[in-house]
Structure 1
Amino acid sequence: MLKKILLSLSLFPILLSAQINTERVMIIARNALYFEDYVLSIQYFNQVINAKPYLYEPYFYRALAKIYLDDYQGAEADCNEALQRNPFVVGSYQIRGLARIRQNKFDEAIDDYRKALYYAPENTTLWHNLTLCHIHKEDYEAAEDDLKSLLKVAPRYTRAYMMRGEVALKQQDTIRALADLDKAVELDRYEPDTWASRGMLKLQMGKYADAEADMSYAIHLNTKNTANYINRALARFHQNNLRGAMSDYDIALDIEPNNFIGHYNRGLLRAQVGDDNRAIEDFDFVIAMEPDNMMAIFNRGLLRAQTGDYRGATQDYTTVINEYPNFLTGYHYRAEARKKLGDRRGAEEDEFKLLQAQLDRMNGKVDANSNTATNDLADNEKSTDEEEGGEKTRKKSDRNMRNYNKIVIADSEDDTKRYANDYRGRVQDRNVNITLEPLFTFTYYEKDAVVRRTVHFFKYIEALNANGAFPRRLLITNMDSPLTQAQVDFHFKMIDAHTADIVSNPNDPEKRFARGMDFYLTQDFDSALEDFTQATLADEHFFPAYFMRSLVRNKQLEYKRAEAAANATVVPAMSGQPKVDVSSIDYTTVRQDLDKVIELAPDFVYAYYNRANLLAMLKDYRAAIMDYTKAIELSDDFAEAYFNRGLTHVFLGNNKQGIADLSKAGELGLYDAYSVIKRFTDMSE
C-alpha cells in the first residue's frame, strides 16, 4: 500500500509546496505561457519562486504572463525582482520597458531600452520600441537618430520607413514622408499597413483618387480592418462618390457595429441621398452611444422634420437650444416645426429671437461667449456650391454646432494611434503570415467564435460522454480555450480524485485517460504523456489515448521549435538558454500515433486532418492533400479541411484548385478564407 501511495505522489510533484522539482515546474510553466495559459503559468511560476526565490527566470516569465493579462504594474514589479537577481538579461529590460510604456512612463521605458541596447545593439525590437517612445514624447530628433541606427541594423525593416514617414509628417514635411512610405511599399507590397499609411498621407494631401487606390489595396490584403473602409469612404466622399462611400461604411459597420464615425457619417450621407428613415436609425445609434452629442441630435431633428415627425423634431431642436442658446439655426428650424404643429405662439417666440439676433448683428453686437456667434444662420443658409472650396469635414472632437452637417474624421492624435499598439514584445508576437488552421484536440473548453461554425462530433466520444466517463463533456475542437483560475483549481482537484481511482484500479484506460486530460489541460505534458501511454497499454484499442498522445508530443516539439527559433534570432536577449534542435525525425512518433488512430478508427476524420497538418508542416504537401481529401470524403462540410487543402494547393502553385477549396471553406463559415483568396488573386478594380 505504501508503494502505491509513493507511486501516485511521484506523478504530480508539482502540487507539493516543499521540495518541488523546480526545473520541471519551470518547463511546465513555460509550456503554459507559450500556449497562452497565462493564469495557469503564473501559478507554476509562484511555486518556483516560493521554492527558490533567488532565481531570476520565474520573475521574468511571470512578468511576461502579467503583460498578456494587462497587469502592467505587476509586470514591472516582477522585472525589478528579475533584474535585482541578474542585471544582464536583456529580456528583463525589454519587458519592463513595455510595462512602463503601458503605464505612460515613457522616460523610464527609454532608459530600459537604452540599457538593453547596450547589451544587444542589433536587436530590432528594442530600436523599434525606443523609436515609438520618442515619437510619443514628440522628441522627433531623437526618433530620427533611433531610426538611423535601426536601418543600419535592418535596412529592409519596413516599419522603420513607416515610422520615419510618421516623424516627417509630424514635422509637416509631406514630401519626405511620402518618400519613406513609397519605400515601405516597395519593400513589402504584401503588408496592408504600408498601403494604408500611404493612403492616409495622400488623403491628408488631398490626393483623393490616389488615396482611394492605396486604401483599396490595403483592403485587398486585409478585409477586416475597419479603419481602412472608413478612410476609403472619406476618399470617395471627397470625389462625390456618395454611394461608394456608403458601401464602405456598410462594410465597416458589419465588421465593427459600434463604430461611431461609421454610423454618424453614414447617417449624413443617407440624408443627402434622401434615405431619411435609415439615416434616423444611424443617428439613433450615435445618440444611444453618446446621449450628449448635440450635432447628432440636431441632425436627427432635421430628419424627423423631413419625415413629418414635427413633434420629435421639436424635441431634438429644444434639446440642442437648451445646450446652445445662441445657436440660431436651431431657432429657425424649431420655428418651422412649431408652425407645422400649429404652435403659432412658440413659432413667433423663435422668430422674435432670430429677428433680435439680426438687429444685434446689424448694430455690431455679438455674444462673445458663444462659439457659434450670431451669424451662424446666415452662414448655414449658404448653398453647398458656395462651400465647395471650403472644409467639408470636421474633427471628431469639434463641438462647434455650425459644423453639424460636416463629415467626421478622426482627431489627428487618433490618427497617429495606428502606431500606439505597435510596441513589440519579445515573444509570442502575432504572426501575420497566412497559416494553416490548427490541429484538432479533445478538451472540455472551447473559445467562442464570432461566427459559429460546425459543431464537431464523433459517435464514440459521445458514447463516452453519455456514460459519464469524464468530469465534463469532452469536446472536439481546434479552438481550445485557456483555463480560468476556477478551471485550474478544478483540474488540480480532479488529478487528486482520478489518482485515487487509479490506485484502486490501475488498469482502467478511461481513468488513466481522464487524468491524462487533466495533466494536458494544466500543461504538464510529461505526466499527460505517461497517462496516455498507460491507457494504451491497458487497452490497445482505446484510440482517444493515441490521438491525445500525438497532440502532446506535437506540442512538446512545437515548443522546442519555438525555442530553437528564439535562440537563432534573439540570442543576446536571453543569454544562457540551451540550443534546441528539432528535426523531422522527432515527428515520427507523432505520425505513428496518428497512423494507429486511423487503423483503429478509420472513420475518425480528425486523425486524417491532423496527419495532413503534420505532413504539410514537414512540406510533404502531396501526401497532406491526400489526407485532407480523405477527411473531406468522410465529412463533406469540414470547413477547416477545405481551407487547409486550399492553402496546400497554393503552396504547390495550384492557385485555381486552392482558391476553389478556400471558397468552399468560406461558404461553410470559415470567413478568413475570403481574405486569403484576395491575397492570391489579382484585384478586379
Structure 2
Amino acid sequence: YYLEDYQGAEIDCNNAVERNPYALNHYVLRALCRINQNRYALAEEDYQKAIGINPLDHGSWHNIVLCQIELKEYERADSSLDMMLRYWPKETEQYTMKAQVSLLRTDTLQAEKWTDRAIDLDAYDGRAWSLKAMFQANRKEYKEAEVSLDKAILQLPKTAALYVNRALVRYNQDNLRGAMSDYDACLDLEPRNYLAHYNRGLLRAQVGEDNLAIEDFNFVLNLEPDNTIALYNRALLLDNIGDYNGAIRDISAVIKDYPEFWDGYRQRAAIKRKIGDINGAERDEFKVLQARLDAAAGKKHPVRTRKKSERNIEDYAALVEEDTHEEENEYVSEYRGKVQNRQTELQPEPIYSLTYYKRESETNTYIAYCPEIEKINDRKALPKQLFLTDNEASMTEKQTEAHQTSIRTLSEQLDKKPNDRDLLMRRALDYYHIRDFENAVSDMNALIQENGADALALVLRAQCRFAQLEVSRTTASASDLRLGYLMVVQDYYKASDLMPDAPFLHYNIGCVQVQLADYMAAQKSFTRALELDSHFPSAYYGRGVAYILGGQTEQGLSDLSQAGEYGLYTAYNLIKKYSKK
C-alpha cells in the first residue's frame, strides 16, 4: 500500500479477509486500495462490512458518504449522514457534509441552513466558514464574505483555495493590493496554481507592475500555450515595456484565432505606428473602420470575472474563477492521512537563480551551495546580499524603481570604466530584476569577453537566456527554442568546470534537458547533482519527473517519494496521479 501498489495490496487484503473475516482493519485497508483505483462501489461494500463489525467506526461512515457522493447517489449519502448525526450529533463535520450534498442536489437554501447549523455548533470550523463565504459572495455580499474567509483562513491557513476565494471578494471591493497579497500567499502554498498566476498577472498589470505581470502570463502560457486570452494580455504588457515586436507577435497569434477581434487590430495598428510601419497600421485601421460600419449598435458592458471554462476573447481583462465550488473529498485513514487532490504539472521544480529576493518555504528548507556567491557577498561588491534560490520573491514597485535608478547611475560609471567587472555584474543584476534580459545578457557578454570565464557571469547569463526562452516558448519555432536551450546548457557546463562541487548547476542542466526532451541526459544530470548532495529534494523531484517522462514510472515514483520526505510535498500529488497509470 505504501509503495502505491494498490492492486497488489488489495490481493493481500483478500487473503487476510479469507483468513479472518472479523478483522475490521482488513476491510478498511482494502477499501482504501479500491478508492485509489476509483472502484467506489466495492470500497463502499467494504466500509459497510466494517461498520457491521463496529457501528461506531467514524472513519468508515465518513468514507461511505464520500463513496456515495463519487457514485452520485446523493439521496443515499444524505441518509448515511442522517445516521451519523444520530451517533455524533455535536460534530460539525456531518453538517458541512450535509451542506455539500445539498449543493450537489442544487438545493442552495438548504445547504446554507446546514452550514449555519455547523457554525452555531462550532464557530471555529474553517470549512463551514468557507462555505458561508461562498453563499455570501454569490449574493454579492463581498464585505461579509471577506470576514467569513478571514475566519476560515485563521483555522485552515495552509488551504490555498481559501486565499484565491478571498482575493476575488477583495477584488470585487476594489482592494487590488489585498487581492494580490492573497494570490502571493496562495502561490507560496501552491507555486503552480493556474488561477493565482493568471489573476495576479491581471492585477499586477492594473497597478503598473508590467514586468512582473508578464512573468505570471508566461507561466500561464507554459501551461496552456493555446490560451489566447493570456496571450493578448501579455501583448498589452509587452507594448507597455517597449517590446513592440513581441507585442505584435502575440497579437497576430490572437487575431489568427479570432479574425473578428477588432480591439486586437486597433491595438496592433497603434504598435505598428510606434515602429514606423505606417502601411501595416493603416491596413489594420481600415479593418476596424469596416467593422464599425458593419457592426450593430451598442457595446456590451465588460464583466469583472469569468468562469475558467469561458474563453470569450472580449473578456480578456476579467479575472478568472473556478467553474464550480467543490469541497475536496478527503478519505480518512489511519494508514495514510488524506488523498491529495491538488493538480501538479509533470515538470521539474524551477531552476536555481541568482537574485536579491528570495521567498522562504516552511517545508522545503534546502539551501543550495555556491562558493562564488559566498565570495562576492564577503567582498560586499554588490549593494545587497545575493541569494541562490528556486523560489524568487516578487518585487514591490519601490524596489523596481530602485533598480531602474541604479541602472542609470551604473551606466554613467560604466561610461568611464566600461570593463569594470563589479559594475557590469551589478548592472546585469539590475537588468535581470526588472526583467530586461537582453541587456543583462549583453553585460555578461562584455564581462566574459573582457575578464575571461567567470562562474557567476555564466550562471547569470544562463538564467537570463532561460527566462527569455520561457517568454517566447509559445511563439518561437522549435529549432530556435532548441538552439536557445543548448546555449543555456553550454553556459552551465562552463560554470561547472569552474565550480565542480556545485550541485545546483547539474540540477539546472537537468531541468533544461527536460525542456529539450532529452530525458536520459536529464536523469544523468540530476544523478550527478545527487552524487554531490544526497539531500537535494528538487534533484530527486526532477529525476523522478525525467524517469516518468522517459517511461520508467517505477523509478520515478521512488524518487518522488524521496523528494516528498525531504519536504517537497508537491511530489505526493504526482505520486498519486502516476501510481494509478
- TM bracket (short chain): 0.5 to 0.7
CA contact (8 A) 2:116 2:132 kept: yes
Deviation at 1:161, TM superposition (A): 0.8
For 1:177 and 1:224, locate their aligned partners in 2 and report how far apart those are by CA, in whole Å.
Answer: 25
- Which residue of the other structure, out of 328, 331, 343, is the alignment partner of 1:423? 331
Letter in 2 for 1:424: V
Residue 250 of structure 2 is aligned to residue 316 of structure 1: yes
Q: Distance between the aligned counterparts of 2:67 and 2:279, measured in 1?
A: 61
- Flag structure 1 segments of 5+ consecutive residues without an equivalent: 1-65, 363-374, 431-447, 454-685
1:399 and 2:399 matched: no
Partner of 1:220: 154
Matched, 1:129 2:129: no
Give the secondary-structure state (helix, strand or coil) at the position aligned to 1:353.
Answer: helix
* Counterpart residue number, 1:262: 196
C-alpha contact 2:27 2:47 (8 A) present in aligned 1: yes
Q: Which residue of 2 aligns with 1:95?
A: 29
The C-alpha deviation readout for 1:365-395, integer Å capped at 9, x for no partner, is xxxxxxxxxx9xx74xx6xxx44xxx42122
CA gap 1:355/1:74 in 2 versus in 1, 3 angstroms: farther
2:123 paired residue number: 189
Rounded Cα–Cα distance in structure 2 between residues aligned with 1:119 and 1:131: 18
1:36-55 paired onto structure 2 within 5 Å: none
Contact 2:32–2:43, Cα closer than 8 Å, also in 1? yes
User: C-alpha deviations, 1:31-50, integer Å up to 9, x for none?
Assistant: xxxxxxxxxxxxxxxxxxxx
Corresponding position of 1:349: 283
Alpha-carbon offset, residue 175 of structure 1:
2.5
- What is the distance in 1 between the residues matched to 2:37 and 2:261? 41
Q: Equivalent of 2:88, from 154, 160, 183?
A: 154
Would the alpha carbon gap of residues 358 and 71 (structure 1) be closer, same or farther in structure 2, given more than 3 Å must change? farther
Match of 1:515 in 2: none
Shift of 1:90: 2.5
Q: Partners of 1:125 and 1:201 in 2: how far apart? A: 28
Q: Which of 180, 184, 201 is the aligned partner of 1:250?
A: 184
CA distance in 1, matches of 2:366, 2:122: 34
Residues 555-591 of structure 1, C-alpha deviations (whole Å, 9 max, x = no match) = xxxxxxxxxxxxxxxxxxxxxxxxxxxxxxxxxxxxx
1:305 aligns with 239
Q: Look up the match of 1:114.
A: 48
**Which residue in 2 is equivalent to 1:442?**
none
Matches within 5 A, 1:72-83: 72-83=6-17
Amino acid at match of 1:205: R
Q: Deviations over 1:192-247 (max 9, x none)?
A: 33322322332233221121111111222333322221111111111111121112
Matching residue of 1:451: 365
CA distance in 2, matches of 1:159, 1:245: 29
| SS of aligned partner of 2:117 | helix
Superposed CA offset, 1:663-682 (max 9, x none)? xxxxxxxxxxxxxxxxxxxx
In 1, Cα distance between the equivalents of 2:209 and 2:71? 45
Aligned to 2:228: 294
**Contact 1:124 1:153 survives alignment (8 Å):** no
Alignment of 1:159-238 (within 5 A): 159-238=93-172
Q: Using the alignment, how far apart are the partners of 2:9 and 2:92 within structure 1?
A: 30
Q: 1:347 to 1:159 in 2, by over 3 A?
A: same
Displacement, 1:84?
2.7
Counterparts of residues 264-663 of structure 1 (less than 5 Å): 264-358=198-292, 361=295, 379=299, 386-387=301-302, 391-412=303-324, 415-416=325-326, 418-420=327-329, 422-427=330-335, 429=337, 449-451=363-365
Distance 1:356 1:76, change over 3 A: farther
Are 2:76 and 1:145 equivalent residues in the alignment? Answer: no
Q: Supply the AA of the counterpart residue of 1:314.
A: I
The residue type paired with residue 212 of structure 1 is E
Task: Give the Å deviation of 1:429.
Answer: 4.1
Q: Which has the larger radius of gyration?
A: 1
Deviation at 1:355, TM superposition (A): 4.2
**Counterpart Cα distance in 1 of 2:228 and 2:11:** 45
Kindly provide the CA deviation profile for residues 418-438 of structure 1, in whole angstroms up to 9, marking residues without a partner as x: 322x111144648xxxxxxxx
Q: Which amino acid letter does the alignment assign opposite residue 211 of structure 1?
A: A
SS at match of 2:38: coil
Matched-pair contact (CA < 8 Å) for 1:394–1:407: yes
Question: Counterpart amino acid of 2:332?
Answer: R
Shift of 1:263: 1.5
Whether contact under 8 Å (2:118, 2:125) holds in the other structure is: no
Structure 1 pair 160–265 and aligned structure 2 pair: CA distance change class (3 A): same
CA deviation after TM superposition for structure 1 residue 358, in Å:
4.5
- Given residue 451 of structure 1, which amino acid in structure 2 is its aligned partner? T
Normalised TM-score (structure 2): 0.55
In 2, Cα distance between equivalents of 1:122 and 1:255: 36
**2-side partners of 1:204 and 1:167: how far apart?**
18
RMSD: 2.6
> Following TM superposition, by how much is the alpha carbon of 1:361 offset from its aligned partner in structure 2, in angstroms?
4.3
Amino acid at match of 2:218: D
Distance 1:76 1:207, change over 3 A: farther
Q: Which residue of 2 aligns with 1:43?
A: none
SS in 1 for 2:306: strand
Amino acid at match of 2:322: A
Contact 1:94 1:426 in 2 (8 A): no
Unaligned runs of 5+ in 2: 339-361, 368-581
Distance change (3 Å), C-alpha of 1:330 and 1:232: same
Identity across the alignment (%):
45
Number of residues paired by the alignment? 345
Q: Which amino acid aligns with 1:285?
A: F
Contact 1:331 1:350 in 2 (8 A): yes
Cα distance between partner residues in 2 of 1:396 and 1:316: 21
